[in-house]
Structure 1
Amino acid sequence: MKKIILLFTLVCFLTSCNVTESIVFNENGSGQFLISYEMGDAVTAMTNAMGGEKPDSEKKEGGKVMDTTMVFADIMETYKDSIAALPEDKKLAMAAVKDMFMTMKMNEDEGEMTMGIGLNFDSIDDLKDINEKIKKAQSLNAQGDQVGSMKENSPLGNFFGSDNNKTGYVLTDSGFSRLTEISILDEEGEESIEELFDEADESNQEFIDYFKNAFYNVKLSFPKAVKTMSLENAELSEDRKTVTYKVNWIEYLKNPLLLDVNVEFVDE
């Protein structure tokens, strides 16, 4: 379990991947939240890091195929004795994410790998601390402090996203809103957001090309048809119940508000 969580944390931070935030709502307001990382390029990168291509004998047997879901509550029960011996901060992190799950799908031969972390929620209120829960889940490995140090002390840290951002969700009978709250000390407004990411900085330039083909995707599925939405570039499914849109990763880092949306449902 530790190795999988470590892989999740490092690969999500250190590869040019596409991130998808997906929320599926049921009629009663419950649903599923899932943030997933599509990292096909990372399969090749990790293979090379571990010694390059496989011998021909192993190729004939086929690459690794995996499709698994890990529920934190089940892990805590199965390994309760080991968890009891963890440092207090790790035990608190486990307790905070006990109602969440992790997914991993991999097909080495097809160059596909997707990892995610999610929550089955009873109401929209369960998502109010989702950003913090995701960070706690990602911290459940021995290298968590090293990743944090890398974020603070290297140019790559600019590309991880800001810990100051908090995403809120509002669901009513008439509509839905995704709202980003940004805390910036001594600065206000969109101009300050732009200044957080300086493309003119030569130390950042080498990473810009690396991430230029990465996107933050949002997919929202509702039990009601959508009448209007605030984003012109968003797409609607044929039944008008699913909204999808994406923002280039660099543009998202410069202005996380680009992911916010207001949706109005059709009157029924």
Structure 2
Amino acid sequence: MKKIILLISCIAFFTSCNVTESIVFNENGSGQFLITYEMGDAVKAMTQAMGGNTADSEKEKDNKVMDTTIVFADIMETYKDSVAALPKEKQLALEAVKNMFMNMHMNEEEGVMNMGVGLNFNSIEELKDINEKIRNAQSLNSQGDQMDSMKENSPLGNFFGSENNKTGYILTDTGFSRVTEVSVLEGDGDESVEKLFNEEDESNQEFLDYFENAFYNVKLTFPKAVKTISIENVEFSEDRKTVTYKTNWIEYLKNPMLLDVNVEFVDE
């Protein structure tokens, strides 16, 4: 059980590269939500820090390869006695994500480390609290206090974005919308959004340098072809049923609404 919790904690500790938010919709309104963290650079940095100059024979021997899917409901059933012994907040976090799953693909030699947290949903209504569910999944680690301290006292904490952001999704027969709500303590409008991330703050300079090439990607797949979309620089699949777009992670922190979109489907 401890190993599984530690594995889940990696999501929170090493999200340092690119993030992809993917939603696939079926004709009946069901589908799959998946947010994937691509952390190859983090793996390379860890490998170097932990003896990257070792002999090739040793590298081959110690190379860690993993390709697995963890279903939280299965964990809760298989390790129900261990779950019952966890602190109450950990039990609540597991309960909140019991219908979710996690994918992990790692190959240290190739510098690959991808993790995804997903949900197979029956209705788009089940995505209502998806931000909170993702945060619950990220919180499932055995070193929570240390992680919170790291997030609060280092530039890395900014990579997680703001807990004041809430993303909503609307799907109809004629279109789709992705809408972000940003709750701020003071002010409103554009001025308040600008306060979400201050690039002039000295404490953020290291973060700016480290994540200047990081992106937040959105990939949406619909059962109908897309007629119009309210965002520029979009990539379409050949059948126009899948759209992909992105923004720089720092720009996303400054204004999370940059990824919001309105889609109109082709009449069929």
Partner of 2:46: 46
Aligned equivalents of 2:66, 2:147: Cα separation in 1: 26
Q: Hey, what does 2:100 align to over in structure 1?
A: 100
Residue by residue, what CA displacement relative to the aligned partner does 1:87-129 show, whole Å, maximum 9, x if unpaired?
Answer: 1111111111000000101122322111010000001000001
Asked if the contact 1:156/1:204 (under 8 Å) is kept, the reply is no
Unaligned runs of 5+ in 2: none
TM-score norm. by structure 2 comes to 0.94
Q: Is the 8 A contact 2:155 2:206 kept in 1?
A: no
Distance 1:62 1:252, change over 3 A: same
Cα offset, 1:209, TM superposition: 1.3
Residue 41 of structure 1 and its aligned partner are, at CA, apart by: 0.8
Matched, 1:3 2:6: yes
CA–CA distance in structure 2, aligned partners of residues 126 and 60 of structure 1: 44
Q: Which runs of 4+ in 1 moved over 6 A?
A: none
How far apart, CA to CA, are the structure 2 residues paired with 1:73 and 1:32? Answer: 16
Matched residue of 1:5: which SS? helix
Cα drift, residue 141 of structure 1: 1.0
* CA shift for structure 1 position 220: 0.2
Under a length normalisation based on structure 1, what TM-score does the superposition of the two structures give?
Answer: 0.94
Matched with 2:137 is 137
Q: Is the 8 A contact 1:62 1:109 kept in 2?
A: no
Q: How does 1:174-213 map to 2 (within 5 A)?
A: 174-213=174-213
Identity among equivalent positions (%) equals 75
Instruction: Return the alpha-carbon distance in structure 1 between the equivalents of residues 182 and 223 of structure 2.
Output: 30
Structure-2 change in CA distance of 1:54 and 1:31 (3 Å): farther
The more displaced of 107-116 and 97-106 is 107-116
Could you give the per-residue CA deviations for residues 46-81 of structure 1, whole angstroms, max 9, x where no partner exists?
213333344332334583322110000001111000
Contact 2:186 2:192 in 1 (8 A): no
Amino acid at match of 1:119: L
Instruction: Give distance in 1, aligned partners of 2:156 and 2:14.
Output: 13
Structure 1, 59-68 or 213-222: larger mean CA deviation = 59-68
Aligned residue identity for 2:132: E
AA partner of residue 178 (structure 2) = R
Name stretches of at least 5 consecutive residues in structure 1 with no aligned partner: none
Mapping for residues 212-251 of structure 1, pairs under 5 Å: 212-251=212-251
Q: How many residues are aligned here?
A: 265
Query: Is the Cα contact below 8 Å between 2:22 and 2:220 reproduced in 1?
Result: yes
Partner Cα separation in structure 2 for residue 200 and residue 194 of structure 1: 12
Aligned CA RMSD, in angstroms, stands at 1.5
Who is 2:69 aligned against? Answer: 69
| Contact in 1 for aligned 2:20/2:218 (Cα 8 Å) | yes
The residue type equivalent to 1:5 in the other structure is: I
